[in-house]
Amino acid sequence: MADLTNDRIPTVVADGVDIVYRVNGTGAGRGSATAALNRMLRRKQTEKASGVRRVHAVKNVSFVAYRGEAIGLIGTNGSGKSTLLKAVAGLLPVENGRIYTGGQPSLLGVNAAMMNDLTGERNVHLGGLAMGMSREQVRDRYQEIVDFSGINEKGDFITLPMRTYSSGMAARLRFSIAAAKDHDVLLIDEALATGDRSFQKRSEDRIRELRKHAGTVFLVSHNNKSIRDTCDRVLWLERGELRMDGPTEDVLKEYEAFTGDKSPKAEPKPKAAVPS
């Protein structure tokens, strides 16, 4: 459990967490309206009889996160990374175990909600209010948010409806809104994969600032370089199980050996000159 020595203050404690999805399957009576109605009316039907399939997405995961840490979550597709983030944010129930949080977790893209029919400008104001900022705070930080996102670099896009934005522009604006406030726990799912290297660098710098203000940052990413540049600790999930928890370079070394990934990629060597 939590280690309170050396002023290490826990912000997230996951204790034996299981997360299970229930998916409607192909139970008996599929295609029969009468059979479907009978299944609905039975008060104590089992999941098997009703054709519900259980997907065990996260299995007995335990860890403690501390103030000032930036923690990367890695794993192959379907390993449970995003599911675990949603559970930490309180958006998914756990089947077994417990998740304890100190402060309010903020999942990037949820607290800063976006409405496609409204302009980027309006979404900045609504997103800031949704995160608990005052109207004055939003007004004071508005230009900083727009400049950080970089969406106005090639035109006045902030005054256009969100539906006209590319997915990358919308993701950059979401991150910029979320990053305008200091968070107790900020959960970021692949946000740094959007935009050019300049935006990624600004994002990484902002994450370091959040850590200095005693925040804890979780970053889900398939970009090992972003993990290396941003995080000092990594949780490796594989098929829902916590396979490794440790210093970034130690975990990435094992993960890259597992996946065959040699990131960061080395620059190709120039071909040797052919003697004439």
The two tokens of residue 75 are 């794993």
Q: Which residue has the tokens 């889900």?
A: 220
For 60-76, the pLDDT digits (tens) are: 999 999 998 999 999 99
Which residues does residue 96 pair with via DSSP β-bridges, in sequence order?
A: 18
SS3 of residue 267 by DSSP: coil
Identify the structural domains of the chain with CATH numbers, from first to last. 5-24+54-259 (3.40.50.300)
- Condensed to tens digits (0 to 9), the pLDDT of residues 83-128 reads 999 999 999 999 999 999 988 888 875 445 678 899 999 999 998 8
Q: Where are the beta strands (DSSP E) in 199-240?
A: 216-220, 233-238
Instruction: State how far the alpha carbon of 222 is from the alpha carbons of 24, 74, 122, 256, in Å.
Output: 30, 7, 31, 11
Which residues, including other chains, have CB under 8 Å from residue 26's CB and lie 6 or more apart?
51
pLDDT for 201: 81
User: Mean pLDDT, the chain, as a whole number?
Assistant: 82
DSSP state of 6: G
The tens place of each residue's pLDDT in the chain, 276 residues long, gives 444 444 789 999 999 999 998 877 654 445 556 665 665 566 445 555 556 778 899 999 999 999 989 999 999 998 999 999 999 999 999 999 999 998 888 887 544 567 889 999 999 999 888 888 899 999 999 999 999 998 888 788 999 999 999 878 888 888 888 888 888 898 988 765 666 778 878 888 888 887 777 689 899 988 898 899 889 999 999 999 999 999 999 999 999 999 987 554 433 444 444 443
Question: Do 224 and 218 form a contact (C-beta atoms < 8 A)?
Answer: no
Among 180, 157, 181, smallest CA distance to 168 is for 157
The pLDDT, as a whole number, for residue 155 is 83
Q: What is the pLDDT of residue 178?
A: 84
pLDDT value for 58: 96
Q: What is the Cα gyration radius of the chain?
A: 22
Report the pLDDT value the prediction gives residue 275, as an integer from 0 to 100: 44
